Structure 1
């Protein structure tokens, strides 16, 4: 059973305005984001597909993955995309001690020079969030999630969800990970074509 919502309504995100959920609803722009990389083959596939349509994206990187794949991390930025911090070891703030979690964010920051931050699983605690904001981080969540990581969900269902819920200003979550790659190959190309056909452009966060 799916335990995450396909989209986050504005009434909900308005309750937590200190987080970045979406962009300008009046602007024909979406914000494509990819979590958990950089990953050999997968991240390169993503960039190739983005290039086909002239789209740019924001990649929320795991520090440990950057350490293993520095050349791919560098290539992401050379292609004009933006990077963000996704912790060093994909920690869950709900199950980690505050100091341990913040140290992991700091460890990632030694490799990922960015003040963009997305918490793994979208999980944060008030104390962690407040400390990160004091350190100057912009905490980025989302309003549309692709479901590419969910092995029990079909690609048809994921693509239908994306097309249904994308709006002006949407921050859309994908994953450039080995786990998501099979489904990503099936949903990313037609989704990008859908965006282009319907007049959306993309920007980095």
Structure 2
């Protein structure tokens, strides 16, 4: 079962984390996981510029290390950078010590205390220790499924237009796999919601 719009009761699992921004103003929060990625990141930045849209990029440490110029471009365009771990570890399948070390290693290349767990999965102990270390965990309220190539992109667009609401944190992916769908989905989201008077902002700190 694919859940596009995450239910509010799920937020109780990690009440100190951010799942969405409570606002009645027409604002949306685009986020991009797994980058930076050559060519794709540049394409995303170009699309965002057309709408004066700001976003938050949750970058993998290994990619941030390999592509420092792309990291500089993200920051130069006024976007926010978040930590998405060094090697995209699944917290629930990783030991706490190894998982935290992976996050800390990524922090050397992302220089941020905003953290999004890969797959949205981490143990309560990991979450609590990250909080003590000064990290703010960011989940999401809308998952685009741009990475799921079994879903027709037309359905992804339909679901986005139907279910995204003010204050939503939206997950897209800065990766080669997701680009097949994201290159259609992102322009549709930007155009549709801009015409409805929405602004796109980075997650407030």
TM-score normalised by the chain length of structure 1: 0.96
- Cα drift, residue 65 of structure 1: 0.4
Name the counterpart of 1:110: 108
3-state SS in 2 of match to 1:37: coil
3-state SS in 2 of match to 1:173: strand
2:68 to 67, 70, 93: 70
- Does the 8 A contact of 1:25 with 1:167 survive in 2? no
Name the counterpart of 2:119: 121
Structure 1: how far apart are the matches of 2:152 and 2:4?
A: 14
- Cα drift, residue 13 of structure 1: 2.1
Name the counterpart of 1:186: 184
Cα distance per residue 1:146-195 (max 9 Å; x no partner)? 11000111101111111111111000000010111111111111110011
- Does the 8 A contact of 1:57 with 1:202 survive in 2? yes
CA RMSD of aligned residues (A): 1.1
Which structure 1 residue ranges, 4+ long, deviate > 4 Å from structure 2?
none
- Cα drift, residue 15 of structure 1: 5.1
3-state SS in 2 of match to 1:94: helix
Cα distance per residue 1:18-46 (max 9 Å; x no partner)? 11000023121111000000000111111
Residue 143 (1) aligns with residue 135 (2) = no
Segments of structure 2 that go 5 or more residues without pairing to the other structure are none
- Does the 8 A contact of 1:92 with 1:121 survive in 2? yes
Structure 1: how far apart are the matches of 2:173 and 2:185?
A: 12
Equivalent residues, number: 203
Cα distance per residue 1:76-97 (max 9 Å; x no partner)? 0000000000000000001111
Structure 1: how far apart are the matches of 2:9 and 2:130?
A: 24
Name the counterpart of 1:133: 131
Structure 1: how far apart are the matches of 2:13 and 2:37?
A: 35
Structure 2: how far apart are the matches of 1:15 and 1:89?
A: 25
1:24 to 8, 22, 27: 22
Structure 1: how far apart are the matches of 2:186 and 2:166?
A: 18
Structure 1: how far apart are the matches of 2:180 and 2:86?
A: 24
